[in-house]
A and B are shown apart, each in its own frame.
Chain A
Amino acid sequence: MNLLPLMWAGLFRRRTRTVLTLFSIIVAFLLFGLLRSIANAFAGGIDVAGVDRLIVQPKYSVIDPLPISHLNVIRTVAGVASATHADWFGGFYQERRNFFPKYPVRPDEWFQAYPEYQIDPAQLRAFETTRTGVVAPAELAVRFGWSIGDKIPIEADIYPQRDGNRLWEFDLVGTYEGRASGLTPTEFLMNYDYFDEARQFGQGEVGWFVVRVEDPAKAAEVASAIDAQFANSSNETRTATEAEFQRQFANQIGDIGLMMGGILAAVFFTIVLLTGNTMAQAFRERIPELAVLKTLGFSDARVALLVLGEAVLLCVVGGALGLGIMALLANGVAQAIKDIVPEFELIWQTVAAGLLIAAVMGVLVGAVPATTARRLRIVDALRER
């Protein structure tokens, strides 16, 4: 135990070098956190909440509409617990760059399909009963400074109103949130009934269906059963789990994400290599000092442990600081790159893996000097000065 202060003193013997090395390690692990999170987002494996949800889309193109009458058929398919529908409204708030998805939905059914979204029951009732009512994710409301009761104008780019007016005015009647552990929801929700009645064209059509299955293990069978219902009709469907659709969407963005992940991986290993080289060099310069310790009666093992401990300490502290800084930056980064990497999030597994790698790196970097230190013969080492 009493080696720790000595390690600390050893590290700060050459303060400049230690601080510089530390910063390199911090940077390396900052990048590690960044690249792992990106890779995770592309693997699409973060959110397991949607395992019992299927998405029913048009078979040939995401922009083809589906008739709402499909819903009644879907509900009769064996294994389907409940089903609802949604649509893509498009449009924008104030400026085109203020992008967020806007879905016309059935309020009660939507929140049953997404039980992880939390909404105040009174606000949900207001949403159901107010024709022009909308609910927004709490985060979105904060971003644009909306409060309940506000009128929210949305400029449509796909669906003008019957009279050709492109400006829709909605009343904000509530806000909702995701579970603390899940992803933050982004969808601005409006009443399908009102939307369908007021839009200029497309009555009775929807964009896609959201289906909950009774048994997630049978999701694939239910999906094919749904598609079989509409096979060879003029509105064929393509059904898959929500996670699968997320993966497919990530694949569409695909190459860019892979490319960035690859570049970052190369970068991380370069920095680790450089840092290891620097640290190994630093130890070589301190060999005479270690001989002095041995002269003072430190055993071979203790000297070796001291050297190894210093390396591990430096790497782990650097790794922890780097990952810590990444954690502080994570939200900002997620906002900035959400168009390319839709589900960027720093998860604890990444942090744990990072710390483990930092420790392993410390052992690898320290192993050679530690062995040298253990075998060191005092006379030889002191003569080197």
Chain B
Amino acid sequence: MLSQVREITLMNLRNLPSRLGSSSVIVVGIAGVVCVLVSILAMATGFRAALESTGAPDRAIVLRGGSGGELSSGMSEENVRIVAAMDGIATSSGELYTIADVPKRSSGTPANLVVRGVEPSAFAIRAELTIVAGRNFEPGKRELIAGRRAVDEFTGIDLDAPIRFRDSDWQIVGIFESNGDAHESEVWGDVKVAQAAFRRTGGVSTIRVRLTDPAVLEGLAARIDADPRLDLQIQSEQAFYGNQSSRLSSIITGFGYLVAVIMAIGAVFAALNTMYSAVTLRTVEIATLRAIGFGGMPVVVSVLIEALVLALLGGAVGALVSYVVFNGVTISTLNSGSFSQVAFDFAVTPALLTQGIIWAVALGFVGGLFPAVRAARLPITVALRGE
């Protein structure tokens, strides 16, 4: 039987070129599905990666109780001192988180840029942050350093450029990189200067801490909860950024699957159509094979294989197009979690490519199965007589 399958399959594949027009329908249709699916999921994956890489296992963030993000959080400097002195905290930085309207380069309309005031210890907490141009800000001065992506996304955020906020003029003195994470979409300055400039004297938004060990987090959380002076909550950075990204990334993912499923339905119909006509055109041929002793099963398998080969080809084309066109492309959007612009790169990962190929094979299987069965079921005598 295997040799029969091989013979018919080879015959089918050899005369594929003569059916180029109709076969390309399967290839193009499935390529479209895979390309769209992989591209949209790559958007979600890239977004999640940018936010999640902002967190590290031994770091944590302290927010006001009840607040879900840095923007709505706030606490007194006394709170910062109490937390900083707690057991299990190696380093801490009280940070002011605010947002400025700065025109986006792509649209020219104002968008939310994060302005973060930090203590000098912030750089010890975030070792991955490096200044790549200019220099760091000097404490006490109205100087800012800008993330690489903030420079790319916003108008007027450039090295040595002046920038105006309410009541104050600042100077951008350096550009930093931080592994492509969310901080790269921000600008940073001295927290004390920022408090004065933004009418926020005496308080900060959050505290970033480096823990002596990731395991101390639970105990710390319990002590903060129990302390009557504090109305604060502590969570690991990874949990925090996971939450920040989950909403948008799950919406994009859901949208991607929705569109892909709709398209897949269309592609399956196209594939069915093509395979049915392929089978119909070869009715006599298939019946002849059956008449000279080829079994029904080899016919089914051969038609299926033809569909799968075409589908795989389509899947590969779609995945390749998605990779070439989108991988690494940077886009920026408003993250509802932080209420700020976050720039990120599309990430066409091997896992996504694999998923795309799996979809292609599944679509090819569905598109080939029914026509294959019909081909095998046709009574030989009827088929031989032609239509």
Residue numbers of A with Cβ under 8 A of B are 16-17, 20-21, 23-24, 27-28, 30-31, 34, 58-64, 90, 92, 96-97, 155-158, 160, 164, 166, 234-236, 238, 247-249, 251-256, 259-260, 263-264, 266-267, 270-271, 273-275, 277-278, 281-282, 285, 333, 336-337, 339-340
**Which single residue of chain A is at the shortest CB-CB distance from B281?**
A285
Q: Which of the 9-residue segments B102-110, B144-152, B296-304 touches chain A? A: B102-110
Could you write out 14 A-B pairs with CB less than 8 Å apart? A20-B272, A23-B269, A28-B266, A34-B262, A62-B112, A157-B69, A234-B167, A248-B107, A256-B331, A263-B40, A263-B259, A278-B25, A278-B273, A339-B251
Residues of chain B from 275 to 301 with CB closer than 8 A to chain A in the complex: 276-277
Q: Contact between A61 and B269 (Cβ–Cβ < 8 Å)? A: no
Contact for B101 among A60, A96, A277, CB less than 8 A: A60
Complex: A247 Cα to B32 Cα, angstroms: 31
* A253–B334 CB distance below 8 A: yes
B36 contacts chain A at the CB level, 8 A cutoff: yes
Whether B66 lies near A156 (C-beta < 8 A) is: yes
* Contact A274 B111, beta carbon cutoff 8 Å: no
Q: How far is the CA of A255 from the CA of B101 in the complex (A)?
A: 18
Question: Which residue of the partner chain, among B231, B263, B276, contacts A27 with CB atoms under 8 Å?
Answer: B263
In angstroms, Cα B346 to Cα A259, docked, is: 11
Q: Does B123 contact A (CB under 8 A)?
A: no
User: Is B54 engaged at the interface, CB distance under 8 Å to the other chain?
Assistant: no
A31 touches which one: B68, B71, B259 (CB < 8 A)? B259
Q: Which chain A residues lie closer than 8 Å to B255 at the CB level? A: 260, 336-337, 340
**Chain B residues in 8 Å Cβ range of A340:** 248, 251-252, 255
- Residues of A within 8 Å of B107, CB to CB, are 248, 251, 254
B interface residues with partner A (beta carbon < 8 Å) = 21-22, 25, 28-29, 32, 36, 39-40, 43, 64-69, 71-73, 98-101, 104, 106-107, 109-112, 164-167, 231, 247-248, 251-252, 254-255, 258-259, 262-263, 265-266, 269-270, 272-274, 276-277, 331-334, 336, 341
Given the known inter-chain contacts A27-B266, A263-B36, A336-B251, please indicate yes or no for A62 contacting B99, CB distance below 8 A. yes
* Residue from B99, B259, B336, B341 in contact with A63 in the complex, judged by beta carbons closer than 8 Å: B99
Q: Provided the pairs A31-B262, A60-B101, A64-B166 are in contact, do residues A21 and B252 lie with their beta carbons within 8 angstroms? A: no
Name the A residues within 8 Å of B110 (CB-CB). 238, 248
Known contacts A23-B269, A31-B263; is A277 also within 8 Å of B112 by CB? Answer: no
Is A59 a contact partner of B99 (Cβ separation < 8 A)?
Answer: no
Question: Which 5 pairs between the two chains have the least Cβ-Cβ distance?
Answer: A27-B266, A255-B331, A251-B107, A60-B166, A157-B72
Known: A16-B276, A24-B270, A270-B28. A259 touches B109 (CB 8 A): no
Please name the residue on chain B nearest to A333 by beta carbon: B258
CB pair B276–A17 under 8 Å, yes or no, is: yes
CB pair A27–B25 under 8 Å, yes or no, is no
Q: A248-B110, A252-B104 are in contact. Are A61 and B166 (CB under 8 A)?
A: yes
A251 and B108 alpha carbons, distance in the complex (Å): 9
In the bound complex, CA of A7 to CA of B168 (Å): 75
Query: A264 contacts B269, CB within 8 Å?
Result: no
Given A23-B266, A158-B67, 17 new contacts (CB under 8 A): A20-B272, A21-B269, A23-B265, A60-B100, A60-B164, A63-B99, A90-B72, A157-B64, A247-B109, A252-B112, A252-B341, A256-B331, A259-B43, A260-B255, A260-B259, A267-B32, A282-B277
Pairwise interchain contact A60-B28, C-beta atoms closer than 8 A? no
A158→B74 CA distance, assembly (Å): 8
B38 to chain A, nearest CB (A): 11
Known: A30-B262, A336-B251. A63 touches B166 (CB 8 A): no
Q: Among B22, B66, B72, B247, which residue has its beta carbon within 8 angstroms of that of A281? A: B22
Whether B166 pairs with A337 at a CB distance below 8 angstroms is no
Query: Which residue from B66, B165, B263, B269 sits with its C-beta under 8 Å from A155?
Result: B66
Q: How far is the CA of A275 from the CA of B267 in the complex (A)?
A: 10
Residue in chain A with minimal CB distance to B26: A274
- In the complex, are the beta carbons of A274 and B277 less than 8 A apart? no
Complex interface: chain A residues within 8 A of B336 (CB): 339
State in angstroms the CA–CA spacing of A259 and B66 once bound together.
Answer: 35
Alpha-carbon gap, A251 to B166, bound state (A): 23
Distance in Å: Cβ of B143 to nearest Cβ of chain A: 18
- A59, B66: Cβ atoms closer than 8 Å: no
Q: In whole angstroms, what is the CA distance A249 to B110 when docked?
A: 8
How far apart sit A356 and B40, CA to CA, in the bound complex (Å)?
A: 29
Q: Which of B69, B104, B273 has the most CB of A within 10 A?
A: B273
